[in-house]
Structure 1
Amino acid sequence: MTTDPQATPASATPASPVVDASPQGPAATTPLPLPDAAVESEAAPASSPKRPTRAEWVRIAIFGIPYAVFFLVGVPTWIFPASWSLTAINIGLDTILLIMALAFFGREFFPAFTYLRTRPVRKIALLFGLWFLVVIVQASVRFALYGGNPQVAENQQQVINALHDGALGLAFSFFVTVGVPVVEEIFYRHILIGKLSAYAPTWLVASISAALFAYMHSHQWQDFFSYLPLSIVLTLVYVKSGKNVAYSWLFHALNNSIMVILMFAMQGALQNV
């Protein structure tokens, strides 16, 4: 029987894995990938955020449409008895919106606090520095608009009145400092920027979100420019933290908490005088 000297053993063909005869037995090894080939174990970078699913759009609609209606037409006080307190009506509506926000987006909101696992002191200190910067810019804007005798924004005056509405004021202070920032951050940042940036550039949806947030707090045109610095910084905090809604909520809650403390302190000082 003759053999072909040009024949190649089957075990050495390129299509077969190389077999290592070791004491542990043969172990098949696959060829190394080509230089230009993608490694399967590495996650391919996403070119754009993931688009919301149909179920997510349902949640966005159920929460976002009622909030947008209140944003456009205001609190429908005419459907409530005239004897009802406006503070109580606001607390009731804020409670409903907060429950809806946490029920639909709590699984995305609470895990976002893991952002503070690394360098928490530095990140929280940054929020205090940004708050101080916002206060300076807002004061400069109000001085440019009103001169040396700046008026109190109507939105702030309504908050002051509600905070001093007896026992309801204490409940309202919770929503101002904790609950309302949750609702607003989920709507203006998490939805308008985080979700819609899958369909439009982040800078565009972020600009729209900042403008709408400032407009929502305005009762006259001067209020818009007074709230715009805070709105811009909130937007930057959210975007620069990797669209982390918990971090932007912390800044929002920090700002509102300091303002509530100052309002109570000023009221107490006036009463003592």
Structure 2
Amino acid sequence: MGSLSTQTRLYRFNIFDAAAVVAYVGFTAYFTFAGASVERLMLQFFPEPATASYAVNAIFYAAVGVFALASAWRVVGRDFRILGTRPWFTLGMVPLAVVVMLIITAILVAALGGAQSSENQMGIQGLLQHVPAWLMVPLLVLLGPFVEEYLFRHLLIGKLSQYVNIWICCIVSTVVFASIHTIGREGFELSALAPYLGMAVVLVGVYVWTGRNLMFSYLVHAAKNLLAVVLIYSVPAELLPS
């Protein structure tokens, strides 16, 4: 009974969840429609546009991350302890999940008529060309994936499934995750959604498969982002799109 009660408390919505969602949605909407004014403000403190853009993203994810960690720290500790009891499973399944993600993404891109870079992707690639790796890795590999797994898996599946059918939650998580990353001038064209749909399908799958283990889906997400960072920094600057 005590274990069930603890489980219920871990997946009950709280004030920190509300604050994290409000901050994420509010910042996303503001940056989408008033991003130019934000960058002009940041340029007063940082002379380089890339550095200013990095600062905006870092502040955004750090602000949401504070509320996310305040809400989910017990789940984080529990899930890391579970993964620690089966280290070989974790070490083997994380890279395998990334490979599956790449395969599914390639199939979706081919099926939907080819890849189209979203504004989110182009913005990240621009940052990677001008911001050093020691700054980008904490943002793209550590902070960003944690915030997104907390929002799109822990909240939209782990907690929401206490009230809504879990498969509906999985669909909502997949669609919202893919859509939020393509907000911009291209709208919701399937060719722009395809890469993020591939990511979302695998992240939702591993989250549910591991019994709603937030840290396992986080590790998969972080590993995929790390691979992308390593590949982009390995390509000579002259070969990257300007």
What TM-score results when the alignment is normalised by the length of structure 2? 0.80
- Does 1:81 find its partner at 2:74? no
Alignment of 1:103-118 (within 5 A): 103-118=70-85
Deviation of the 1:151 alpha carbon: 4.2
Cα-to-partner distance string for 1:161-211 (whole Å, 9 max, x where unaligned): 1123245x6323311111011111111111111111111111111110111
Identity %: 27
Q: 1:230 to 1:199 in 2, by over 3 A?
A: same
On the 8 A contact 2:10/2:75 being kept in 1, the answer is no
Among 158, 161, 168, the alignment partner of 2:123 is 158
Q: Separation in 2 of the partners of 1:263 and 1:210? A: 26
Q: 1:108 to 1:52 in 2, by over 3 A?
A: closer
Among 164, 173, 185, the alignment partner of 2:149 is 185
Residue 126 of structure 2 aligns with an amino acid whose one-letter code is N
Residue 119 of structure 2 aligns with an amino acid whose one-letter code is E
On the 8 A contact 1:238/1:248 being kept in 2, the answer is yes
Residue 243 of structure 1 aligns with an amino acid whose one-letter code is R
- Does 1:236 find its partner at 2:205? yes
Partner of 1:129 in structure 2?
96
Q: Separation in 2 of the partners of 1:53 and 1:215? A: 25
Alignment of 1:252-271 (within 5 A): 252-267=221-236, 270=239
Among 64, 79, 83, the alignment partner of 1:97 is 64
Among 204, 224, 231, the alignment partner of 2:193 is 224
More helix by share: 2
On the 8 A contact 1:101/1:186 being kept in 2, the answer is yes
On the 8 A contact 2:97/2:202 being kept in 1, the answer is yes
Deviation of the 1:99 alpha carbon: 2.2
- Does 1:50 find its partner at 2:8? yes
SS in 1 for 2:14: helix
Deviation of the 1:268 alpha carbon: 5.1
Partner of 1:6 in structure 2?
none
Partner of 1:64 in structure 2?
21
Q: Separation in 2 of the partners of 1:268 and 1:121? A: 37
Gaps (5+ residues) in structure 2?
45-51
Q: Which of the pair has more CA radius of gyration?
A: 1
**How large is the Cα RMSD of the aligned pairs?**
2.7
Gaps (5+ residues) in structure 1?
1-42
Deviation of the 1:231 alpha carbon: 0.1
- Does 1:246 find its partner at 2:215? yes
SS in 2 for 1:111: helix
What TM-score results when the alignment is normalised by the length of structure 1? 0.72
